[in-house]
């Protein structure tokens, strides 16, 4: 890492008083650069028997040169034209195995070098692990033999993973996947002379459209999509590839639990110019394992014209999937309200089933009073059905008895009410190798895992037994205060043997075996070291405070190592936040997060500045609450001001923050928040807005959790757009954006136009356009430069402000 920093230093001249005019890549102070480039601790994956652990290591960040590889942006996809895969992926760069019982670690032979792995999948027998290896020439498939500790390449033809990995185990020796049909070199050449203009039309039918990025724009784009998305489905047994059916554009392929059928979703023409590939016309069909058509289930139209509004859907069948607890039963949902949630009906959705051999009539299983979201299968008498409304932030879970057809409510809550979240049911594998609901005590109880465990003391994850008769949740284990421990996996539900991940402010996250029945000492499985020694000694505190209307707020306060407020006085402050909408003031006031988590840092974190002498308030709550029967956003700006004032007042009262030297910042919707605060208040010395949307008319059919369209609420769109008040932004604002942002609502033109508007009115602003970066940034040189830009901005306009 030191060598890398040395080379990066050579790229830049010494920082002078004109440093912010520099266009070459710069690097931030040493501590910040080392934090960014620190190698993260490995991620882990455990087999279903709890015997073996696969450790997967990743490098910090790729170079910008890697991001600059060839790329096509079509049909909502970003494709590397050289290898039939998505561009700009994050890869696994190392593998190792650990015997959980003995603690012994093993290297794996036969791994490709350099390793660019992904899509890890254990086989049903839990003795083999499949993974993909991506190069600029193609994608290969490898299998690790656990006993031999050896990896072997098994594919003959390069894989096609443009529409997703599509890799699944049919049995312990047989894999199903898609391969490329033609060499990438045979891709259609772009004609110099098009056949004619690109024309779209609408003949009097309402067709609202979300503002998707990277859509098909021409007949040539259509040719490219068809070429790169077309694949041959194959099954591979012991290295022998056998084609299944004919080449097609496979959106998804799922094997039935009994391994006798394939549920296929294939994309067909015409391709849309208004929606991404996931919304193209498609065909749902069932074939045998050789690809022979058994049943054509449905021809689905394009998703163009889906009615606006978050609970409105197309008036077609959806959610086709196999029932996990039966051999081969297809299920799906269909709206009973024509897809319009405001239609006055007793039930809004119905769920149907069709059993093999699929030549009978579909059977209605149950109906839901709100919008059906999904079902988790258990056995012949138990399934859990979830339904809800995004517009009202509600959800309900019911017990469905397949034998009797009854649907009984178990619990319902507001989705923003974290305190009353009972957790998610623990699952186990059935005879088909499918994950089904784990039941205890002759089927009378569920085991519930809540990996957040929100409470008035902060997040304290827990494991509970849910009684299906009393509908009560009994917590049988909870993370001890002063630590943060989550149940990663339940290795034995009856004996309550768990795999947990435990950490504290001073303890690096590591994995343990915990036995709740025997109550023996936890067995530590990993021993990861601290990747961030530069943060040793800094303090972290969860602070609580009230805004003027009485709503309780929280934030994570970080203070520099060795800081003494009596001696050192109030510090310059960086507040980093992301607004959230609430229909309930009580939910908005709930405490979120834990003060006891080990301090980790990502490229997007504001914690870097605690090493530079700032007080950092991260995750400062910015709730936007529905008031007096209105929608939350009806008072968006006023509530932002209340939130910001409360945070600044709290830090000033604690005598750790200088209220006259405060900066505010955020990413995406947090950037939108930042620009609004600078447009409507004089609370801050500077702002930093990364990859935000600032003109809401560019997302006219709704944004974030606002479902009203521009034409329904034009004044709201105007008032919530900081672009409308660019002439009022006089506080220095640093704008940063990736030039390849792929997020539907944050087109780069947002930052370009806001910068030009502020500049036109004489405001102080700087616009940094990061090459090859998407909505989330990843290029090493770009990230180092981003930190340098932000640090220089904060030092000039906050720390050293007059």
Nearest-angstrom CA–CA distance, 772 and 147 = 42
- Two tokens, residue 313: 């859907």
Which residues lie below 8 Å from residue 144, measured CB to CB, with a gap of 6+? Answer: 54, 95, 97, 108, 128, 129, 130, 131, 150, 151
668 is catalytic: yes
CA distances from 272 to 205, 214, 302, 303, 786 (A): 16, 12, 7, 9, 37
Nearest-angstrom CA–CA distance, 48 and 204 = 55
- 315 close to 335: Cβ distance less than 8 angstroms: yes
* DSSP label at residue 458: B
Identify the three-state secondary structure at position 365. strand
Q: Which of 775, 778, 785, 795 is catalytic?
A: 775
Q: Which of 741, 751, 774, 778 is catalytic?
A: 741
Most distant pair of Cα atoms in the chain: their distance: 81
Angle subtended by helix axes 780-794 and 30-37, to nearest 10: 150
Helix ranges, 61-108 (H): 64-67
Scan for tokens 């930042």, then name that residue. 674
258 is catalytic: no
Phi-psi region of 339 (alpha: psi -120 to 50; beta: other; left: phi over 0): left
Nearest-angstrom CA–CA distance, 605 and 576 = 9
CA distances from 348 to 56, 388, 398, 537 (A): 44, 11, 15, 55
Identify the three-state secondary structure at position 579. coil
- Two tokens, residue 96: 């190792």
Question: Helix, strand, coil shares of the chain as percentages rounded to 5?
Answer: 20, 35, 45
- What is the SS3 string spanning 526-548? CCCCCCCHHHCCCEEEEEEEECC
β-strands 174-180, 168-171 pairing:
antiparallel
741 is catalytic: yes
- 512 close to 500: Cβ distance less than 8 angstroms: yes
- 675 close to 689: Cβ distance less than 8 angstroms: yes
Burial of 347 (0-12, 13-18, 19+ CB in 10 A): middle
- Is the peptide bond between 94 and the residue preceding it cis, with omega within 30 degrees of 0? no
- 96 close to 106: Cβ distance less than 8 angstroms: yes
End-to-end CA distance of the chain: 37
* DSSP label at residue 472: -
Q: What is the DSSP string of 59-70?
A: -S---HHHHTS-
Identify the three-state secondary structure at position 754. helix
CA distances from 662 to 561, 638, 645, 731, 744 (A): 20, 19, 11, 11, 31
Q: Which of 376, 668, 740, 778 is catalytic?
A: 668
CA distances from 67 to 88, 259, 667 (A): 6, 40, 21
Active site residues: 668, 741, 775
């Amino acid at each position: 890492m030191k060598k890398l920093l040395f080379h990066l230093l050579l790229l830049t001249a010494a920082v002078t008083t004109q440093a912010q005019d520099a266009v070459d890549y710069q690097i931030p102070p040493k501590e910040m650069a080392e934090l960014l480039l620190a190698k993260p601790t490995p991620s882990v994956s455990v087999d279903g028997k709890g015997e073996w652990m696969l450790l997967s290591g990743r490098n910090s960040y790729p170079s910008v040169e890697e991001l600059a590889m060839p790329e096509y942006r079509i049909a909502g996809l970003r494709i590397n034209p050289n290898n039939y895969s998505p561009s700009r992926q994050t890869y696994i760069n190392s593998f190792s195995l650990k015997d959980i019982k003995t603690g012994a670690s093993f290297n794996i032979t036969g791994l490709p070098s350099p390793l660019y792995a992904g899509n890890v999948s254990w086989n049903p027998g839990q003795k083999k692990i499949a993974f993909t290896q991506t190069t600029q020439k193609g994608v290969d498939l490898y299998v690790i033999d656990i006993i031999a500790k050896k990896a072997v390449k098994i594919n003959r033809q390069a894989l096609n993973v443009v529409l997703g990995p599509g890799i699944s185990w049919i049995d312990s020796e047989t894999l199903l996947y898609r391969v490329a049909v033609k060499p990438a070199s045979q891709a259609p050449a772009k004609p110099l002379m098009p056949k004619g203009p690109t024309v779209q039309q609408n003949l009097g039918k309402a067709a609202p459209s979300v503002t998707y990025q990277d859509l098909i724009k021409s007949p040539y784009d259509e040719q490219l999509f068809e070429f790169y998305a077309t694949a041959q489905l194959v099954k591979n047994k012991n290295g022998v590839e056998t084609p299944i059916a004919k080449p097609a554009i496979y959106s998804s392929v799922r094997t039935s639990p009994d391994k006798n059928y394939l549920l296929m979703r294939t994309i067909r023409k015409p391709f849309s110019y208004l929606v991404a590939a996931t919304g193209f016309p498609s065909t749902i069909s069932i074939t045998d394992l050789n690809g022979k058509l058994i049943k054509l289930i449905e021809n689905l139209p394009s998703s163009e014209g889906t009615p606006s509004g978050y609970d409105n859907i197309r008036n077609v069948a959806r959610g086709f999937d196999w029932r996990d607890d039966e051999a081969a039963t297809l299920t799906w949902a269909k709206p009973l309200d024509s897809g319009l949630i405001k239609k006055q009906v007793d039930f809004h959705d119905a769920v149907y089933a069709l059993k093999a051999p699929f030549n009978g009539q579909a059977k209605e299983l149950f109906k839901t009073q709100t919008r059906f979201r999904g079902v988790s299968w258990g056995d012949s008498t138990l399934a859990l059905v979830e339904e809800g409304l995004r517009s009202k932030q509600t959800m309900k879970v019911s017990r469905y008895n397949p034998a009797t057809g009854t649907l009984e409510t178990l619990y319902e809550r507001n989705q923003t009410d974290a305190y009353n979240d009972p957790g998610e049911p623990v699952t186990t594998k059935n005879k088909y190798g499918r994950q089904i609901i784990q039941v205890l005590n002759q089927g009378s109880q569920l085991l519930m895992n809540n990996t957040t465990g929100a409470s008035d003391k902060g997040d304290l994850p827990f494991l509970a037994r849910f009684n299906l008769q009393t509908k009560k949740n009994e917590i049988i284990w909870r993370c001890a205060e002063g630590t943060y421990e989550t149940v990663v996996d339940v290795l034995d539900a009856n004996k309550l043997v768990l795999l947990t991940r435990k950490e504290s402010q001073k303890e690096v996250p590591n994995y343990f075996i915990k036995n709740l029945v025997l109550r023996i000492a936890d067995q530590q499985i990993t021993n990861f070291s601290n990747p961030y020694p530069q943060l040793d000694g800094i303090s972290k505190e969860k602070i609580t405070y009230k805004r003027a209307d009485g709503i309780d707020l929280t934030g994570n306060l970080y203070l520099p190592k060795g800081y003494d407020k009596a001696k050192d006085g109030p510090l310059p402050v960086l507040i980093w936040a992301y607004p959230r909408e609430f229909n309930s003031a009580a939910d908005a006031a709930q405490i979120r997060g834990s003060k006891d988590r080990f301090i980790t840092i990502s490229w997007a974190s504001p914690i870097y500045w605690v090493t530079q002498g700032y007080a950092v308030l991260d995750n400062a709550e910015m709730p936007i609450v529905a008031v007096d029967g209105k929608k939350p956003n009806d008072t968006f700006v006023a509530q932002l001001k209340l939130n910001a004032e409360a945070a600044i007042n709290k830090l000033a009262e604690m005598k750790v923050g200088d209220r006259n030297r405060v900066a505010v910042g955020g990413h995406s919707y947090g950037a939108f928040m930042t620009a609004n605060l600078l447009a409507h208040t004089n609370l801050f010395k500077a702002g930093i807005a990364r990859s935000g949307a600032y003109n809401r008319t560019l997302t006219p059919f709704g944004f974030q959790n606002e479902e009203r369209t521009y034409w329904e609420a034009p004044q709201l769109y105007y008032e919530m757009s900081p672009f409308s008040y660019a002439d009022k932004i006089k506080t220095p604002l640093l704008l940063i954006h990736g030039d390849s942002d792929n997020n539907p609502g944050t087109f780069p033109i947002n930052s370009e136009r806001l910068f030009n508007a502020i500049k036109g009115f004489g405001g102080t602003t700087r616009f940094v356009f990061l090459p090859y970066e998407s909505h989330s940034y990843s290029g090493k040189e770009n990230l180092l430069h981003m930190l340098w830009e932000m640090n220089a901005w904060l030092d000039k306009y906050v720390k050293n402000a007059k």
